[in-house]
Amino acid sequence: MLDSARSPAESSGFSRKIAATIIIVYTVVTLIPITWIILTGFKSVDGAITYPPEVFFKPSLEGYVNLFTTRSRQSQEYLDSLPPPDTWYEELVRSREMVIAGPSKFFGRYTNSLIIGFGATFLSVFLGALAAYAFSRFKIPLKDDLMFFILSTRMFPPIAVAVPIFIMYRKIGLGDTHLGMIILYTVVNLSLAVWLLKGFMDEIPREYEEAAMIDGYTRMGAFFKIVLPQATTGIAATAIFCMIFAWNEYAFAVLLTQFNAQTAPPFIPTILGEGGIDWPAIAAGTTLFLIPVMIFTVVLRKHLLRGITFGAVRK
């Protein structure tokens, strides 16, 4: 009769304990892979492949050094003939009987990801906002059908049109260019941008821009100077969504880019070290690649909700 003190309308302490146990177990299971890869990034190359794997180890930045540099193996005599290393990372590499030959491609790939990500985000938001405004304000013949055509391109698996895109890009010279990838990611993001932004623009009262137009603004002027600033939150949420997609996209990146415009996702899994795959470097690269998006997503998850469900769930 211990429970009699509790209001019967509350869930019992016992069920709360079960709840806590289940949540703890699932949270830990969720965290293990993420923790494991972050830890592996701080292992030394030998440490990463010891048997059995170590959970506790002496941290090393070797993975990160290997990620950003290319190295060549040298004989002990040659190493002895060199002046003492200037920096801690040179020292680390020397201790493996190697010298730094130059920077690796990782930085360039990361920059490519940034250029393509920002470019595609900007374009999809720009084009999306224009279309969304028209759908939100104007009378358009076949409006619903056009909207649903746009919606259907979101559900459509882009990879299913890989062949014609590949052929087209080779013909018109867009293959392995930043511009080509920007256009492609813009197209894939457009439907989301249009639908999301239309929802946000529907919430902005028409009276604002009508008043502005009476004051002598053109329609375009009213759109850029009155409507867009009002929709800042919506634009930011949409932009983050587009950015995450472009940042993470893999299939087209692996297909259409090799050298010039290759982004980080196809590059990271192929990082090779001495005598095979350099696991700590891959782990380090993956960590650096994932952290920005993870922070964004977790911080903004309430906004993202609307994007994931296409406006089906609002707050």
Partner 1 sequence: MTIFSLVLYVLAGILVCILYYHISNFLLDFFAKKDSKDSSIRAVIFIAPAFIVLVIFILYPVFETIRLSFFDKFDREFVGINNYIWAVNDPEFRRCILNNLGWLLIVPTLSTFFGLVIANLADRIWWGTIAKSIIFMPMAISFVGAGVIWKFVYDYRGPGDQQIGFLNAIIVSFGLDPQAWITIPIWNNLFLMAIMIWIQTGLAMIIFSAALRGVPKEMLEAARIDGAGELKIFTSIIIPYLQQTILVIWTIITIVVLKIFDIIVAMTNGQWQTEVLANLMFDWMFRGGGDSGRGSVFAIVIMVAVIPIMVLNIYRHKQEQKI
Identify residues 148-167 at the interface with partner 1 (CB under 8 A): 148-153, 155-167
Interatomic CA distance for residues 297 and 248, integer angstroms: 13
Q: Does 183 bind partner 1 (CB under 8 A)?
A: yes
Binding region for partner 1 (CB under 8 A) out of 69-77, 92-100, 186-194, 202-210: 186-194
Sign of CA dihedral 273, 278, 282, 288: negative
Q: Say if CB 156 and CB 222 are below 8 A apart.
A: no
- Region from 22-30, 63-71, 91-99, 231-239 binding partner 1, contact rule CB under 8 A: 22-30
Among 92, 93, 184, 196, binds partner 1 (CB under 8 A): 184
**168 is a contact residue toward partner 1 (CB under 8 A):** yes
Whose Cβ is closer to partner 1: residue 88's or residue 292's?
292
Of positions 64, 93, 98, 119, contacts partner 1 by CB under 8 A = 119
Q: Is 58 in the site for partner 1 (CB under 8 A)?
A: no
Position among 89, 126, 176, 273 found at the interface with partner 1 (CB under 8 A): 126
Q: Which residues pair with 273 in a beta bridge?
A: 276
Q: Considering only the stretches 60-68, 85-93, 96-104, 305-313, report the one whose residues sit in contact with partner 1 under the rule CB under 8 A.
A: 305-313
Q: Of residues 242-271, which lie at the interface with partner 1 (CB under 8 A)?
A: 244, 247-251, 254-255, 265-266, 268-269
Total residues contacting partner 1 (rule CB under 8 A)? 118
Closer to partner 1 by CB, 82 or 277: give it: 277
The H-assigned helical ranges of the chain are 13-41, 45-48, 62-68, 76-81, 88-94, 106-137, 143-155, 162-172, 178-202, 206-214, 219-222, 228-230, 232-248, 251-256, 264-267, 279-299, 301-308
Stretch that binds partner 1, among 48-56, 83-91, 202-210, 231-239 (CB under 8 A): 48-56
Phi then psi dihedrals of residue 99, to 5 deg: -125, 155
Q: Does 92 bind partner 1 (CB under 8 A)?
A: no
* DSSP-assigned states of every residue in 28-61: HHHHHHHHHHHHHHTS-HHHHT-SSPPSS----S
Angle at CA of residue 127, ends 122 and 128, nearest 5°: 95
Tokens of 216: 């002598």
